């Protein structure tokens, strides 16, 4: 029987890494991913670097396809990337504004991370749906139009209120360690990966015409979840 690796390794390579890359070193132990902040695109899971540095000590010699590359979440700053990856294995306990206890698991598994990002980005669009800039998204929208919606939302409701709402959202749906990231990180830092996606598609249509703001939020959340590497999760797996 294979023995799973229980420790999440956080290593910055080639300087300060800004992309959070997750690798499942042993497929027989789902959920025990190893994270690294890497400068540039995530290394191939079949690379020697991953085998020797991130997944060393396996009780077998990994072959092609044995090590899986999971999510790839791009940040702007290396310190926020490190904070994000560290939170997967957080053992801390904190109370969010609703009084719920957020207890750290050994690591937040792949599906749970996908659910949290899906919930966060869809919530932002739905919660701000009363604003004209966001209501217009139902007619179809580019990355720039979505940015305008979120920026207007942060201005109208305040970043602190949005931070509290996101903490309540993920703390109420999961007790996994990644909730600590959303509950202890300022809104602009949480938005770094979202803005990376929006800037990449600033003039591209990323929301097609829909009937409701809820549909627009779901459409956007599915696109960004795929961008973060959660694309092969079924839609039903992303909904909390």
Find out whether 225 and 110 touch, Cβ atoms under 8 Å. Answer: no
- What domain range is 33 assigned to? 12-87
* Residue 117 and residue 83 share a domain: no
7 part of a folded domain: no
Range 100-103 contact pairs with CB under 8 angstroms and sequence separation of 24 or more: 100/168, 100/171, 100/172, 101/175, 102/171, 102/175, 102/179, 102/180, 102/183, 103/175
Looking at residue 235, what is its pLDDT? 53
* Residue 103 and residue 198 share a domain: yes
Residue 225 and residue 219: Cα distance in Å, rounded? 10
End-of-domain residue from the set 87, 115, 139: 87
210 part of a folded domain: yes
Report the predicted TM-score, pTM, of the whole model to 2 decimal places.
0.80
Q: What is the mean pLDDT of residues 33-59?
A: 88
* Residue 221 and residue 131 share a domain: yes
* Residue 97 and residue 150 share a domain: yes
Q: What is the mean pLDDT of residues 16-45?
A: 82
Q: What six digits make up the tokens of 146?
A: 């979505």
Looking at residue 232, what is its pLDDT? 58
Give the pLDDT confidence of 126-175 residue by residue, as tens digits: 989 899 999 999 999 999 999 999 999 999 999 999 999 988 888 765 55
* Residue 162 and residue 47 share a domain: no
When divided into structural domains, the chain yields a total of 2
* Residue 113 and residue 77 share a domain: no
DSSP secondary structure string for all residues of 59-88: SS---TTTSEEEEEEE-SSHHHHHHHHHHT
Q: What six digits make up the tokens of 180?
A: 């600590």
End-of-domain residue from the set 65, 87, 109: 87
pLDDT greater at residue 185 or residue 13: 185
Give the pLDDT confidence of 78-110 residue by residue, as tens digits: 999 999 888 876 544 444 444 434 444 434 677
* Residue 170 and residue 139 share a domain: yes
Looking at residue 159, what is its pLDDT? 94
């Amino acid at each position: 029987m294979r023995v799973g690796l229980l420790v999440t390794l956080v290593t910055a390579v080639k300087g300060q890494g800004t992309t959070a890359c997750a690798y499942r070193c042993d497929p027989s132990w789902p959920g025990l991913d190893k994270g690294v902040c890497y400068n540039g695109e995530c290394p191939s899971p079949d690379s020697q670097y991953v085998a020797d540095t991130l997944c060393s000590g396996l009780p077998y010699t990994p072959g092609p396809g044995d090590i899986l590359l999971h999510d790839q979440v791009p940040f702007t700053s290396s310190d926020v990337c490190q904070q994000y990856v560290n939170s997967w294995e957080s053992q801390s306990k904190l109370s969010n504004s609703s009084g719920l206890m957020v207890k750290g698991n050994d690591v937040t598994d792949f599906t749970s991370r996908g659910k949290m990002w899906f919930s966060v980005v869809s919530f932002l669009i739905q919660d701000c749906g009363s604003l004209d800039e966001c209501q217009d998204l139902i007619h179809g929208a580019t990355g720039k139009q979505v940015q305008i919606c979120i920026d207007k939302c942060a201005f109208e409701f305040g970043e602190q209120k949005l931070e509290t709402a996101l903490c309540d959202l993920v703390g109420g749906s999961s007790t996994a360690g990644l909730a600590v990231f959303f509950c202890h990180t300022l809104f602009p830092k949480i938005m770094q990966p979202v803005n990376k996606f929006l800037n990449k598609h600033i003039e591209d249509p990323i929301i097609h015409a829909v009937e409701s703001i809820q549909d627009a939020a779901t459409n956007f959340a599915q696109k960004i979840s795929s961008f973060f590497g959660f694309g092969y999760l079924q839609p039903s797996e992303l909904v909390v």
